[in-house]
Structure 1
């Protein structure tokens, strides 16, 4: 049977995969109609994360998910689509459901969720592309990272193929939605769109239930689940993860797809036959398909005692109808397949296990895992639930009035489990397996799909058939486990030699009570680290076959007859207890976070560790030792000895890199590289975009937890910040040009020390410093020419900018250094979360908050204190980025102002009240408040050309975008001491 579905059913099959990723459940759409205001939260305090959300948040913090927890929802819409009405409908949807405007932050190391104010508008960007180009656009948009701390968990994109032909993509983060949520989203968007189009006569939408209330209820009920916890703990106490066939080689070079799917078409009448079989045995179609999954997994693993996870749901009763949020829960189903039962008998066992699971479905699976501790994993750290099963229905599509709709698959190339079975109960039914390609090879997965399909057909034909007589899986081309020992060689040696970057390998078999030792020779001087290879072995081999360590050698020592000489191989030291400051830091970290002093070989999980503790331990060690480390590293290393060895390796790599940098000018593989600091900030983000548009390679400085937000084609990320002076010097030394856009705002001594370190390491190319007009202080006149002398009083922020400029300009042109440009910026506006901070402080913050509250706005009257005008200069972030990059090609060799325009306080107050729908009254007074005592116009002739506003950069348009998504912190008062700094 072919493993490729027909072209006409590909979209449907991929929808099955998407719904599997989203944890889909079927439900009845909410009542439809116009918009209704959401109810007020029951509690204004911090909202805890639900257990399902906590899992999503931890996976995001660990950095191990990529786009696998993105939920793309795309529809091809043909007909007269009104994009303005769609934007209005989406805005109303986000107003109704607080979970779609919720961010995730920490307090005392614990995460909580915070609802942000409803945005004024939700943008729906439009791009023109034909069908071929659209595929790439949609996949890139769906894979674009989310920043959960910023609250943007939904975004929209419309791709226009023709005048009445569009593909609309909504991308959600799984922390905010599940499959049932998408049905609510589709139903409500259709009603809200009709209302925005002016249709009347529809009943209004009922008030939406809010996810925060659900999360609070879940936490309140957690203390009353002892009975369910005892049930699950007893059921799973001695369970082990299924032993799947392991791939022996990593993915080929250039093949970066971490997940894939195989589908096998089924006869159209097969789901009906299976449904009838279930009815005869008092079981559902889901139970029948799950029984087939158990039979298939038994054939793959050769085991009788198996666990398969299913997606349960907490959606029960009318109170949760129409709830948008993550309400799925993993239910582990344990079934004994021993005794060669018939398929009908196996179905009875599965049905009983399902009923018991449903009776105890209320407890979050995470609590069960915490109770099981190390028992929730295999000896190699493998999770108990590696395999899942589901039945998936027809795709959800967005149906808008006056148009036709067709589902569009957008692949995020992610798999959350090693193997997932699914029956597609659709018009064109299929058997489907989704799999993690790092755990299972393509041939095995393809055979698994064919085997699952054959089992479904056999069960429908003869349910009395014994499992031993049912179709068996293809044993593979060589008829045996590819990870097995061949010719007496240790399996780890086979796996290492199959690695494309390993030229030779040898495994020293263990002495009594000691682990095996592996040795590898790389093909090139640059390649995987010993830790990387050890992790690869752990994910490929059975636990008992994994060596205790991997050592890299330049060559294997050999005897005269070319055999490996084991007497000349390095081994473990006599004492295997790690020593030194890194070992002490690891021990102290384990002790502080887990409450006991570990032995070198103690397992992190056995000591009670879990994902959140791994994140906390990594952050603690990274800060103390100044070495790169992630929570995922902790989970993979697992023991103090292994974690210390990993840190020792990274310290050695760091020291070698520093020595090489000090000895010779580093080899640069990409000429013209620009170092950008502050790349995750508002200004830096636009600088990265501008450099990318110009094709300039970039080295971006970012903290480890933010690095994934800026990693892109042409951008290399170096971890660090302004307090890491050695790291700054190394980064500067490796670049051909510098754009310094980072700033602490509140710690001027740090800013000046960082500039001193950078200019000291600067040896070539231009240097552009994003400074501030605050460096001018308070000039006596109303017009300020470029490079005018500064006037007291200067704020500490402005004084630090001036000091940094002086350091830069003194160094420029000496010892081979290039030209320098200090680009003084006023208020920076633009659609970026960091730039919205301009609406939280200083003059703009004062006006914004007054307009938001609807209170009176008092402004200085023109001619107050002899000044004809009060207001501020401003610049769009994109225009500032153009000006900054222009200075790389043509340095100004001094100071230049970057002002796109000036706005009076009256104009700004008028814009804010209109955009916010505020009732604030504007009054003029004869006094100028300290924050509003700003009356200067700044000349900007030197950079006039790149500063010229482009379409979409108009002040009112950008201000509207900045207001969208503002958090409640905007109402907490105005920060003192900063008036016109460049956000």
Structure 2
């Protein structure tokens, strides 16, 4: 995005942008082309796929969802979204046979590939192989979140079936919901809630000065991966059930304890993405999330899961307040570092649905972030076989870049203690660089 767009006229299709959209628009304006604002979704297509039908199905899906044909314009001091009649997109890019995630990212996520003012928010590439193909959807985060990938896969299967059968009727359009404005009284209540919750919270200690927010947005990522057996996931569920909380809280407690062990920090916050979808938005593609901080309680092992679960609930209560307002409420003073939280935790615990049509199966595949979202991030995804895939990331400019292996080992050890009250050797950790 080269500059804000100020149109002289208005259109009936214009709506006020949501708080999350405003934040991503601002981030793009401050740091154009930042990887932190980009997603590379991946959909596996298994079977004897017909290339022409797949192309037709892809066009049908992007026409269906207004988020993929929306431009963002400034009206005075207000950001609005304007839905276009047709998506602004290039032809489907033919990637090399068997191209993987990194190869697809290099081909699709080029500097300047998105233009929010023009409505150019996605690019699509297809990599064929001997067993079918992989569809890669490079999309700006302003128009897409993790659940959007599942919706895209389901709609792609439906559109592919119609294309194979020669059905010309377009898929019904998924209308975008107008962001609901907070009533002044409710807004004041939420500000007071966050102000009390975050009073005196400390930043996560850094070994060194820590990267600036601009450095985070533009940095290359270092990564480490590990995998936990399906028996661990079953034990996580049993532990959660035993204390009447979600598996998320059990994993979060282990991660926070590992961060505290390695940094020496206490009373810090960890950021988590929270879905803001309403019942009527279950099939809508878009960025329907809010990032909220969770203030860590005492992380000593006795009762830590219950305390972390309560901390998560306290943050979820205030999730209606936009992230920028939460930052203002917290009055955090972390200098040039990220305000409120410098570590992030994300858990994808849903079963990824498979859709079989015309002899071909479509299924979304878990993907890693392509840009730095915090100084250190742990993403845990539940596999179809019950295993837990763990990905630790840090920008190469972050002091955590050289400590990711230690972080994964500490996470696994702390989790094992929470589950079994024993210590076992950590699993092997694999290294990769984005």
TM bucket normalised to smaller: 0.7 to 0.9
Residue 321 in structure 1 maps to residue 282 in structure 2: yes
- Length-normalised TM-score, structure 2: 0.82
Q: Structure 2: give runs of 5+ residues left out of the alignment.
A: 1-10, 212-217, 427-434
Q: Which structure has the larger Rg? A: 1
- Match for residue 402 of structure 2? 443
Residue 173 in structure 1 maps to residue 129 in structure 2: no
The 8 Å contact of residues 245 and 300 in structure 1, kept in 2 or not, is answered as no
Residue 387 in structure 1 maps to residue 343 in structure 2: yes
2:291 pairs with one of 306, 330, 336: 330
Map residues 337-376 of structure 1 onto 2, 5 A cutoff: 337=298, 341-343=300-302, 345-372=303-330, 375-376=331-332
Post-superposition Cα deviations, 1:260-293, rounded to whole Å, max 9, x if no partner, equal: 2212222330111121011111111101011112
Residue 54 in structure 1 maps to residue 16 in structure 2: no
Map residues 474-489 of structure 1 onto 2, 5 A cutoff: none
The 8 Å contact of residues 177 and 326 in structure 1, kept in 2 or not, is answered as yes
The 8 Å contact of residues 346 and 378 in structure 2, kept in 1 or not, is answered as yes
Post-superposition Cα deviations, 1:693-715, rounded to whole Å, max 9, x if no partner, equal: xxxxxxxxxxxxxxxxxxxxxxx
Residue 303 in structure 1 maps to residue 265 in structure 2: yes
- Match for residue 333 of structure 2? 377
Q: CA deviation at 1:325?
A: 1.0
The 8 Å contact of residues 257 and 413 in structure 1, kept in 2 or not, is answered as no
Map residues 490-509 of structure 1 onto 2, 5 A cutoff: none
- Match for residue 456 of structure 1? 415
The 8 Å contact of residues 74 and 410 in structure 1, kept in 2 or not, is answered as yes
The 8 Å contact of residues 203 and 269 in structure 2, kept in 1 or not, is answered as yes
- Length-normalised TM-score, structure 1: 0.38
Q: CA deviation at 1:407?
A: 6.4
Q: CA deviation at 1:62?
A: 0.8
Q: CA deviation at 1:84?
A: 2.8
In the superposition, relative to structure 1, how do residues 106 and 431 fare at CA in structure 2: closer, same or farther (>3 Å)?
same
Q: CA deviation at 1:165?
A: 4.0
Q: CA deviation at 1:56?
A: 0.7
Q: CA deviation at 1:396?
A: 7.1
Q: CA deviation at 1:52?
A: 0.7
2:254 pairs with one of 274, 285, 292: 292
CA distance in 2, matches of 1:182, 1:55: 21
Q: CA deviation at 1:398?
A: 7.6
Map residues 878-957 of structure 1 onto 2, 5 A cutoff: none
How many residues are paired up? 406
The 8 Å contact of residues 98 and 128 in structure 2, kept in 1 or not, is answered as no
The 8 Å contact of residues 143 and 412 in structure 1, kept in 2 or not, is answered as no
Q: CA deviation at 1:311?
A: 1.0
- Match for residue 100 of structure 1? 68
Flag the structure with more relative contact order, 1 or 2, with Cα contacts below 8 A and sequence separation at least 6. Answer: 2
2:127 pairs with one of 150, 159, 164: 159
Residue 401 in structure 1 maps to residue 401 in structure 2: no
Q: CA deviation at 1:220?
A: 5.5
The 8 Å contact of residues 154 and 362 in structure 2, kept in 1 or not, is answered as no
Q: CA deviation at 1:308?
A: 0.9
- Match for residue 4 of structure 2? none
In the superposition, relative to structure 1, how do residues 349 and 114 fare at CA in structure 2: closer, same or farther (>3 Å)?
same
- Match for residue 178 of structure 2? 214
Deviation >6 Å, runs of 4+: 203-206, 406-412, 469-472
Map residues 796-875 of structure 1 onto 2, 5 A cutoff: none
Post-superposition Cα deviations, 1:67-100, rounded to whole Å, max 9, x if no partner, equal: 2322112334343323332233233323322111
In the superposition, relative to structure 1, how do residues 179 and 268 fare at CA in structure 2: closer, same or farther (>3 Å)?
same
- Match for residue 243 of structure 1? 205
Map residues 102-251 of structure 1 onto 2, 5 A cutoff: 102-119=70-87, 123-127=91-95, 129-131=96-98, 136-144=103-111, 145-161=113-129, 165-198=132-165, 208=174, 210-211=175-176, 213-215=177-179, 217=180, 219=181, 221=183, 224-246=186-208
The 8 Å contact of residues 225 and 391 in structure 2, kept in 1 or not, is answered as yes
Q: Structure 1: give runs of 5+ residues left out of the alignment.
A: 1-42, 250-255, 473-983
Q: Which deviates more from structure 2 when the two are superposed, residues 135-144 or residues 277-286? A: 135-144
2:231 pairs with one of 269, 293, 306: 269
Point out the structure with the larger strand share. Answer: 2
In the superposition, relative to structure 1, how do residues 62 and 222 fare at CA in structure 2: closer, same or farther (>3 Å)?
farther
CA distance in 1, matches of 2:342, 2:12: 39
Q: CA deviation at 1:445?
A: 1.7
Q: CA deviation at 1:381?
A: 4.4
The 8 Å contact of residues 301 and 418 in structure 2, kept in 1 or not, is answered as no
Post-superposition Cα deviations, 1:633-683, rounded to whole Å, max 9, x if no partner, equal: xxxxxxxxxxxxxxxxxxxxxxxxxxxxxxxxxxxxxxxxxxxxxxxxxxx
Q: CA deviation at 1:54?
A: 1.0
Q: CA deviation at 1:230?
A: 0.9
CA distance in 1, matches of 2:184, 2:139: 28
CA distance in 1, matches of 2:284, 2:183: 19
Partner-residue secondary structure (3-state), 1:136: helix
CA distance in 1, matches of 2:91, 2:417: 52
Q: CA deviation at 1:152?
A: 1.3
The 8 Å contact of residues 87 and 122 in structure 1, kept in 2 or not, is answered as no
Partner-residue secondary structure (3-state), 1:225: helix
In the superposition, relative to structure 1, how do residues 86 and 420 fare at CA in structure 2: closer, same or farther (>3 Å)?
same
